[in-house]
Amino acid sequence: MNLPDPLLPLPDEPLDLPEGSDTEERLKLAFVSVSDHVNLHAMAWPARDLDGKLAAPPAEHVLHELAHIYELVDEERLISSPKLGDVYVDSELPKCDLCSRDARYDAIVEMNGTKGGAFLCGDHYTELGSGTLGASGDTYLMLTAEVPDWVRDECNWLLATKGREPLF
């Protein structure tokens, strides 16, 4: 039986390595090329939907994140399909660093000429966040209770096939 692939694939492009290098040099060049490829294709997801409202990334991104957190697939697959960084799932939300409301974003912000990480509510994210999740360093914070049912079912099924307890 083939298990569903919970990971979003990277673009499938051949490595362009120069001929004539020895094995060790080719291995180093291959590593640099793969690292460049991953960085070039890093996920940059808009923090707003088509109506301009702040919105969570799609369920497929949530599944991808959970596959990494809970190792739902083999290690080789996890390594070859890196985390997107646009969503993080937890049982509770931290408080906004600038007010007392629940934070929905873990963001890189600049304040008083200094860049740093901050937990931000939606209003403060609108004011200070980049508006892009993932490659920007900003992450949407999602409650475990908000994970879509089909993502829950797929996670639990994948864990069951590995003889592990369900998440949900």
Averaged confidence pLDDT in the chain: 89
Looking at residue 1, what is its pLDDT? 41
For range 124-153, the mean pLDDT: 95
* Integer Cα distance of 129 and 104 in angstroms: 11
Q: For the chain, which residues make up each domain, given as ranges?
A: 55-161
Which pair of tokens denotes residue 112? Answer: 């008083």
* pLDDT recorded at residue 76: 85
The Cα–Cα gap between 18 and 37 comes to: 16
Average confidence (pLDDT) over 147-165: 95
137: left (phi over 0), alpha (psi -120 to 50) or beta: left
Q: Give the model's pLDDT for residue 31.
A: 74
Q: How far is CA 107 from CA 64, 80, 118, 134, 163, in A?
A: 20, 26, 5, 10, 36
119-128: Cβ within 8 A, 24+ apart: 119/94, 119/95, 120/96, 121/96, 122/54, 123/99, 124/96, 124/98, 124/99, 125/47, 125/54, 126/54
Higher-pLDDT residue of 149, 36: 149
Write out the two tokens for 54.
């702040």
Residue-wise pLDDT for 17-73, tens only, equals 778 778 888 888 877 776 766 666 667 899 999 999 999 999 999 999 999 999 999
